[in-house]
Amino acid sequence: MVNFYNICWYMLAQTQVAPSQAVGEAAGEAAGAAGAAPPPKGFFENMGVMFPILMGAMLLYFLMMTRPKPNNDETTSELIANLKKNDRVVTAGGILGTVVNHRSDEDYVTIRIDDSSNTRMQVLSKSIIRVLSDEKTDKD
């Protein structure tokens, strides 16, 4: 990023229009004799201050436009409402399990994690992010 900034700064500095020698000398003599103010700065000299500000604004705009979108609450509530016994689910923590007990009036679901030791766990129903389908086993 620093190299990009240096290249742009160098290009802006090279594009400044320098007054011709004859005009510059005449203006210098007239300004020195009359005590007038020096000529105003060029456009590209003022851009040196504005360039970092514009780059920062562009960076903030890019970051805001590419941020992750929030999870759709309608699909999540529909998923939780359609849960039934023996559904394979994935929690937000990455835990795979099979639904053992789910009542619509409660905020949690009991899932079985391991069939051999009959390990069960209660998780919040909001933490279930996906219901796995049995399509993979049908194809095999």
Q: Which amino acid is at 123?
A: V
- The CATH 2.30.30 portion of the chain extends over 73-139
Q: Which CATH number applies to 73-139: 2.170.130, 2.30.30, 1.10.150, 1.10.3470?
A: 2.30.30
Residue pair 107/97 in contact (Cβ under 8 Å)? The answer is no
50 by Cβ neighbours in 10 Å (0-12 / 13-18 / 19+) ranks as exposed
38 Cβ neighbours under 8 A, 6+ residues apart: 31
pTM strictly above 0.85 = no
pLDDT in tens, 48-79: 778 888 899 999 999 988 887 776 667 777 88
pLDDT in tens, 74-133: 777 788 888 888 899 999 899 999 999 888 788 899 999 988 888 999 999 888 888 887
Orientation angle between helical segments 2-14 and 43-65, nearest 10 degrees: 150
Residue 140: its pLDDT value, please? Answer: 45
DSSP state of 32: H
